[in-house]
Amino acid sequence: MKASEIIKLVKKGKPVHVVGKIILDDIDFSTGGKPYILNANMLQSEIRSNVFFESCVFMGKVTSNGKYGTTAVQTCFRNNIAFMGCDFRGEVDFDGAVVFGMLNFSRSIFRENTNFSNMAVWAKDSYFSEMKAEKNFLMVYASFLGNLYFHNAVFGGNASFQEISIKGKLLLNNSIFADQAGFDLIEVYGNAFFNYVTFEQSANFSWSRFMNAADFVKTSFGKQANFEKTSFMNTVRFDGVDRTKLIFNDTFFVHNQITE
């Protein structure tokens, strides 16, 4: 299947529902809508179609960033966008995308570098459950107004979540981080769950703020985990964790204790 067939549907405002297909070339969703001025240096392309892929293989790059002449274009998805159980052979880049509907990349495999940075997601729930990233995974400066699910995910390269804001809960239970994991300067307003997560290399949580309960039950830290200047505004649990690997310099505990 060609990417042009998908973009043709999007331009007509028709729903995209593709199951079990191989998309042979690069697909750029920013070409699916008419660009309008976002600011002096950026245009935004608006897509109103529901976009749904399941068990598809993308041989080329999948992006929501493009060019209109010499001006950069980002994409606003007004409805749902889902890539469930998909295999991405090329790079994936949704940097700066705005999503008003559900966002779902559950059970997908990312074989090259992946970028979800600077996204603004308005959905109640966003799903990356059981996904696998073989190389670097970026989700920095992103904003989620609902819950963010990453349980049973596997990160083979560096995983960067610096300065993301999550108004709902964050769930990473049973996930594996094979390389560096960066959660510094994040803000989580709902409960945060890192239970049974494996960090094979160092993990950084410095300067982060957990506004509700945070659970690190039986979390495995292969090297040091830095919680310097982290604020825990509710209860926090480190049951079954090797405390010698935790750095708590100037860490703030509103209850002045770690719950067992």
Q: What is the pTM of this model?
A: 0.93
Q: Are both 66 and 128 inside the same structural domain?
A: no
Tally of structural domains, the chain: 2
**For residue 122, what pLDDT is reported?**
96
Residue 86 falls inside a structural domain: yes
Q: Are both 166 and 254 inside the same structural domain?
A: yes
Residue 209 falls inside a structural domain: yes
- Pick the closest to residue 6 from 17, 84, 61 (CA basis): 17
More confident position, 37 or 78? 78
Q: What's the rounded mean pLDDT across residues 127-139?
A: 98
Domain boundary among 68, 91, 114: 91
Q: Are both 131 and 258 inside the same structural domain?
A: yes
Q: Are both 49 and 133 inside the same structural domain?
A: no
Q: Each residue of 15-51: pLDDT tens digit?
A: 999 999 999 999 999 999 878 777 778 888 999 999 9
Q: What's the rounded mean pLDDT across residues 2-26?
A: 95
**For residue 35, what pLDDT is reported?**
81
**For residue 70, what pLDDT is reported?**
81
Cβ–Cβ < 8 Å for 74, 97: yes
pLDDT at 104 exceeding the cut of 90: yes
178-184 long-range contacts, Cβ below 8 Å, gap at least 24? 178/154, 179/155, 180/204, 181/155, 182/158, 183/208, 184/208, 184/226
Q: Are both 144 and 253 inside the same structural domain?
A: yes
Residue 230 falls inside a structural domain: yes
**For residue 67, what pLDDT is reported?**
82
Residue 118 falls inside a structural domain: no
- Pick the closest to residue 46 from 11, 72, 80, 76 (CA basis): 76
**Residues whose CB is less than 8 angstroms from the CB of residue 97 and which lie 6 or more positions away in sequence, other chains included:** 64, 74, 75, 76, 77, 116, 119, 120
pLDDT at 114 exceeding the cut of 70: yes
Q: Are both 48 and 170 inside the same structural domain?
A: no
Q: Are both 168 and 69 inside the same structural domain?
A: no
Mean pLDDT score of the chain, rounded to an integer?
Answer: 94
pLDDT at 77 exceeding the cut of 70: yes
pLDDT at 228 exceeding the cut of 60: yes
Q: What's the rounded mean pLDDT across residues 115-141?
A: 97
Domain boundary among 91, 114, 148: 91
Cβ–Cβ < 8 Å for 60, 26: yes
Quickly state the pLDDT bin for 257 (edges 50, 70, 90): low
Residue 174 falls inside a structural domain: yes
Q: Are both 150 and 227 inside the same structural domain?
A: yes
pLDDT at 207 exceeding the cut of 70: yes
Q: Each residue of 150-196: pLDDT tens digit?
A: 999 999 999 999 999 999 999 999 999 999 999 999 999 999 999 99
Residue 109 falls inside a structural domain: no
pLDDT at 4 exceeding the cut of 90: yes
Domain boundary among 69, 91, 113: 91
Q: Each residue of 66-76: pLDDT tens digit?
A: 887 788 898 99
**For residue 68, what pLDDT is reported?**
78
Q: What's the rounded mean pLDDT across residues 245-259?
A: 83
Share of the chain above pLDDT 90, in %: 88
User: Which residues constitute the domain of residue 7?
Assistant: 1-91
Residue 62 falls inside a structural domain: yes
pLDDT at 219 exceeding the cut of 70: yes
Quickly state the pLDDT bin for 258 (edges 50, 70, 90): low
Q: Are both 140 and 215 inside the same structural domain?
A: yes
